[in-house]
Amino acid sequence: MSKELDKKLQTLPKPKLKEVTKDEIHQAIMKHEEDTTHVGWLPKIRSAALFTVSVVALALFSFILFTGSEGETPRSSAPEEEKSYENYIAYLKSIEVHDQIDADRAYIGNPGALGQYHGQVLPGKYYANGMELQTNEEQPMGIHMHYKVTEETSAKGFDKEVFHVSNLPWTIIFNATTYFTFFQNGEYVTFDIDYYGEDRKYTLTRQQIEDLYERDVKDYVDDQELWNEEVMENTLQNEKKVQEFMERIRVANTGSREPKDMVTTSKNYIQVNGKSYLVPSDMHKGSLKAEGKEEVYTFADMLYEFYDKGWGKQVHVARSFNVWETIKVSGELQTIAYDETTKQSTLSFAPQQSHSMVFDGDLTTVYEPGDVLIFEFQFVPLIDETYEFVQLDYDAALASGQELDINEYLLGE
């Protein structure tokens, strides 16, 4: 064996899952497989790596317990009733957008007024990275807002998560609505977001926004009650309406992308045991991992690992990790509660309580809010190794009714 090959083999990740547990999980998943005909084959799992974090879907994280059925969103691994987007809407509602700029200054071409909204008022202000104005009267007038998202920010909580996939649709709609409401002219706004090195761009027109609300949005300038009713309640609290609108925007924007950025494949599904699994698009890829550097990721990073920006939805394939690889995830404990009935503890992590997990036993005497916990999870086959679909070993154990001992996953505090 060559030294080069031997060196590569030594660096391959070693399975973390115990053989007995692995076999139990496999048997539970494949219980009725003998009566099912498997369909086709898939490309091997793409290996690349993480450290980009793009759009739609709700962040219930739990570490994404997938159902495997088309049209369903990933379930939370904890019995969390409240939707994360509802928490985020409360955050948006707390932002005071009225009476920030005098009406006679609120027009495209006034960089001072635009800059105040861009860098001081609206979600994303901590990441504001300049703007461009198109004021040539021979062309449609508009705004080009730039953002650069990095770890080096003083933003906390929702201010830090405004461009995460779970919040992005609401951020885009809220900001675009604000611009077209409070600025007298301008036919489009483009949000150009450098998200940890990955470029995302969304262009929305005044007509699209007014079609969404079925009115001239300038009506909201002097009527904050109408704003709260139609923007905050009737629209942003209607998850289906938000997702459908952003899908139309995504489709419209795709038509203007460079050919290299376009999705070139049609949606394909694999049918296994009566469930449909979406094959990832060509855009479902990660960037290279830092050589020799062991990353510790966030809960938000983990959710995005399964988000396919080409299809605009979750898939059951990791962007950057192979089967049997492990990932370290760190989170600050926000709440912890013990249920006497189930004999389990629910742990939720900042900044959103929807990032939650359940473990056996009363852990309230061991951990408390503010503790920073580091977990190690392994990517295991969702079906079997014939397919590229994966899930976390935690989710596999939860789905199979295995014991959920926190010490099996916990690295430290």
Predicted confidence band of residue 312 (pLDDT cuts 50, 70, 90): low
Q: CB of 368 within 8 A of CB of 14?
A: no
Q: Are strands 307-308 and 313-314 parallel, antiparallel or unpaired?
A: antiparallel
Q: For residue 279, name the pLDDT band (cuts at 50, 70, 90).
A: confident
- Report how far residue 364's alpha carbon sits from residue 375's, in angstroms, rounded to the nearest whole number: 18
Q: Is the dihedral of CA 393, 394, 398, 399 positive or negative?
A: negative
Which is nearest to 399 in space by CA: 72, 74, 84, 44? 74
Half-sphere exposure at residue 113, Cβ-oriented, CA atoms within 13 angstroms? 22
Question: Which residue reads 């430290």 in tokens?
Answer: 412
Lowest-pLDDT range of 20-34, 270-284, 388-402? 20-34
Per-residue buried b or exposed e for 373-403, using 16+ beta carbons within 10 Å of the residue's own CB: bebbbbbbbbbeeebbbbbbbbbbbbbeebe
Distance CA 249, CA 291 (A): 37
Return the top range by mean pLDDT from 28-42, 176-190, 225-239.
225-239
> Domain residue spans in the chain?
3-82+267-412, 84-254
Burial classification of residue 102, based on how many CB atoms lie within 10 Å of its CB (0-12 exposed, 13-18 middle, 19 or more buried)? exposed
Q: Is the pLDDT of residue 351 over 60?
A: no
> Residue 14 pLDDT more than 70?
no
Residues 6+ apart with CB under 8 A from 149: 53, 127, 163, 193, 194, 195, 196
SS3 assignment, position 330: strand
| Tokens at 238, concatenated | 């209607």
Mean pLDDT along residues 332-355: 83
| Cβ–Cβ < 8 Å for 174, 145 | no
Cα gap 252→64, rounded to integer Å: 29
- Residue 127: band (very low, low, confident or very high) from pLDDT cuts 50, 70, 90: very high
Q: Please give the Cα distance from 402 to 94 (Å, whole number).
A: 42
**Tokens, residue 35:** 């009566």
- pLDDT digits 0-9 by tens, 358-378: 999 999 999 999 999 999 999
Rounded to whole angstroms, the Cα distance separating 12 from 5 reads 11
Of residues 99 and 79, which shows the higher confidence score?
Answer: 99
Q: What is the pLDDT of residue 284?
A: 78
- In the chain, pLDDT over 70 holds for what percent of residues? 68
Structure tokens at 146: 């730039």
* 196-242 pLDDT tens trace: 888 888 999 999 999 999 989 989 998 999 999 999 999 999 988 99
Separation CA 394–CA 358 (nearest Å): 10
pLDDT of res. 49:
36
Dist. CA 182–CA 168, nearest whole Å? 21
The separation between CA 134 and the C-alpha centre of its own chain, rounded to angstroms, equals 31
Q: Residue 346 contacts by C-beta under 8 Å, 6 or more apart in sequence?
A: 78, 79, 80, 335, 336, 337, 339, 356, 357, 358
Tokens 């962040």: give the residue: 59
